[in-house]
Amino acid sequence: MNNIIHLTANIKTIEKYLDSQSWLKTDEKVTAIEVPGDGNMNFTLRVKTNKRSFIIKQSREYVEKYPQVEAPIERALGEAKFYEFISHYSSLKNQMPNLLGVDNQNYVLYLEDLGNGTDYTFLYEKGRVLKDEELSKIITFAADLHSDLTRQKTEITLPNCQMRELNHKHIFIYPYLKENGLDLDAILPGLQGIAEPYKTNERLKGNIEKLGKRYLQDGNSLLHGDYFPGSWLKSKNGIKIIDPEFCFFGEPEFEIGVTIAHLKMANQPEEIITKAIRFYKERAPLNEELQQQFTAVEIFRRILGLAQLPLTIALEKRKNLLAESFEVLITMENEINHSVVYR
């Protein structure tokens, strides 16, 4: 690992690095660098030059914001593959930044700058509601991705196993550990008491484990893998999709399940949820029962797990979402189809 260049926020060293990659044009000089927006996992930088601006993103063997937490160092390369695969589909490509270059040696992406937008995490704030047009774009992107990039249509593979294993721990395991280092009452007083009966319910945990195995199994469609408001960018040219570092071939129900969970936690009107499903089903098939199970799991893990969100919903609303999710998970009967292994 010693010969990997460790990028730092220093104009001179960044310029030298960009030069070594031949990513700078003739007479191009770096004039400023800045953090482009909120991010935890990677070292992400906006580089401004005398000619333009662009983004560079380096993955390291740890989580940038929490260096004590290990993470797969090669994740930028999985993300790059996603950009390469979708580049043949203009409707998908137009909704993402262009990938301008990849440094396979140092795990760095060189991306088009979509400008000074913000991601959609503002949706968790009170009173913020997605416009139909935005919802349609978000759902259409996912439906097109899931139906354009399938096993039947492409030879490509993208197991992204290490990232999936990392996500699996956060979604399906850590929230249910007796001691996971998280003080839920510090997040919202009363949350610990609400969580307790769920954390000790063996039937619930058994069903969540089954869904976890399903998540780890390869599926038929290319998924973005982290399809929530943090990956949707409000740019001056409309909504754009970023950060597919958790991508893999899986079941679309996982992706849409996650999206719906976030719409619910962002307290979007029921009408928005219904429309989201309708928009999706107009373009691609969806097993709603399975989608609801993944929605339930995502609600559980975001309310009780380590990857907390800037939620503003009150304790009572969280309690109701958990109760609703519990009903879905406790009554589930789906069995895993072990014959589907593509990896």
Residues in contact with ligand ATP by the rule CB under 6 A: 36-42, 44, 55, 57, 97, 111-114, 119, 230, 233, 242-243, 245
Beta carbon of residue 22, minimum distance to ligand ATP (angstroms, whole number): 20
79 touching Mg ion, by CB under 5 A: no
**From the CB of residue 203, how many other CB atoms can be counted at a distance below 10 Å?**
9
Closest to ligand ATP by CB, 232 vs 279, is: 232
d(CA 230, CA 40): 11
Q: How far is the CB of 255 from ligand ATP (least distance, A)?
A: 16
Given the DSSP bridges, would you call strands 62-63 and 118-119 parallel, antiparallel or unpaired?
Answer: unpaired
Comparison of 42 and 291: residue with beta carbon closer to ligand ATP = 42
Can you give the C-alpha Rg of the chain in angstroms? 20
10 Å CB burial of residue 27 (0-12, 13-18, 19+) is: exposed
- Binder of residue 242, out of ligand ATP, Mg ion, none (CB less than 5 to 8 A by kind): ligand ATP
Residue nearest to ligand ATP (CB): 37
Which one of ligand ATP, Mg ion, none interacts with residue 111, CB within 5 to 8 A by kind? ligand ATP
C-beta of 146 vs 224, nearer to ligand ATP? 224
Half-sphere exposure of residue 313: CA atoms within 13 angstroms, side-chain side: 22
Which of residues 218 and 243 has its CB atom nearest to ligand ATP in the complex? 243
**Nearest partner of 76 among 247, 313, 249, judged by Cα:** 247
- Determine the straight-line distance between the first and last CA of the chain, rounded to whole angstroms: 27
Residues 225-254 that bind Mg ion (CB under 5 A): 243, 245
| Sheet order of strands, 232-235 included | 118-119, 232-235, 238-241
Q: State in angstroms the smallest separation of the CB of 245 from Mg ion.
A: 5
Judged by the rule CB under 5 A, the positions of this chain that interact with Mg ion are 41, 243, 245
